[in-house]
Amino acid sequence: MSEGESQTVVSSGSDPKVESSSSAPGLTSVSPPVTSTTSAASPEEEEESEDESEILEESPCGRWQKRREEVNQRNVPGIDSAYLAMDTEEGVEVVWNEVQFSERKNYKLQEEKVRAVFDNLIQLEHLNIVKFHKYWADIKENKARVIFITEYMSSGSLKQFLKKTKKNHKTMNEKAWKRWCTQILSALSYLHSCDPPIIHGNLTCDTIFIQHNGLIKIGSVFHRIFANVAPDTINNHVKTCREEQKNLHFFAPEYGEVTNVTTAVDIYSFGMCALEMAVLEIQGNGESSYVPQEAISSAIQLLEDPLQRVRIFWITP
């Protein structure tokens, strides 16, 4: 699996396209995907599509129906598995997320805190935050899992968009860059203004999603607070992006080393996201996916706009 596949359906999915800007040669802008005409599906493809659409499970209320089709949730710590699902009331696709507890007693010890966390997350309402719809616990014999329904971002992650832009030898339009930065900061301001403040703690271009109309939404909002409630679930069942080292440069140096982490860690991560959006990719040394400070400094120097360079420099010292 290639990096950046944070929330993409395994078999299908549309991504925003990039087109050259007529007003600024060499720059690009975000545009909605163009619908293409395709030939009729073969019987084998139709059968495969029917298998993926098979309903595996329903929510207790019957509103949400889990399908066989999986959604990649790589780099989203805390998620053991995720499936495409249907909201039968609204007629839209959503994501059916599952968090497994190794033993029923482990969940029971944290049940009250887990419920408090998800009750608060469901209350979050912001245009630039992936929506939480519902959650419930499924307890059977000695095992337990928490299932929660979130908004489905069909166009994929910002990381995917940046990789496609670079592959097509394009550069990022500065107006689009500013617009995206404003949307991300708006979402962070909303989270940090909650009482108590909500620290995202896992903000990378893999956990930022883009819709076909260019709207940005941040996901994985639950990570930091859920990790505080049930750290064993995060550490024992999920390979986090930090363990893989490839996204380590998104995190402030003090993150994970101090107990009393503040909202400042999100601002640092935002700065790294802003830099990666501007240069499309921050490359490591050789075959290593780890990105050293020297590579970050070099990426900042690649920015042609001095003002843009100063803005990012002050966020990511």
Across the 317 residues of the chain, what is the mean pLDDT of every consecutive 10-residue run? Answer: 45 42 42 44 57 86 94 64 94 91 74 84 93 91 86 89 86 88 96 89 88 89 61 43 54 66 88 90 59 74 69 60
Do 194 and 100 share a domain, yes or no? Answer: no
Q: What angle do CA 161, 250, 212 make, to 5 degrees?
A: 20
Residue 3 domain-assigned (yes or no) = no
Do 146 and 100 share a domain, yes or no? Answer: yes
Residue 63: the pLDDT is: 96
Residue 299: the pLDDT is: 78
Name the domain boundary from 94, 124, 154: 154
Do 175 and 290 share a domain, yes or no? Answer: yes
Residue 136 domain-assigned (yes or no) = yes
Domain count along the chain: 2
Helix (H), strand (E) at residue 184: helix 174-192
Residue 28: the pLDDT is: 44
Do 86 and 143 share a domain, yes or no? Answer: yes
CATH at 271: 1.10.510.10
Q: If you count them, how many residues does the chain have?
A: 317
Do 183 and 283 share a domain, yes or no? Answer: yes
Helix axes 264-279, 293-301, angle to 10 degrees: 60
- The pTM of this model reads 0.73
- CA 34 to centroid of chain Cα atoms: 24
What CA–CA distance (Å, rounded) separates 134 from 131? 10
Residue 42 domain-assigned (yes or no) = no
Do 196 and 133 share a domain, yes or no? Answer: no
Do 176 and 309 share a domain, yes or no? Answer: yes
Domain extent at residue 306: 158-205+245-316
Dihedral Cα 182, 92, 202, 282, nearest 10 deg: -70
Residue 16 domain-assigned (yes or no) = no
In angstroms, how far is the first alpha carbon of the chain from the final one?
32
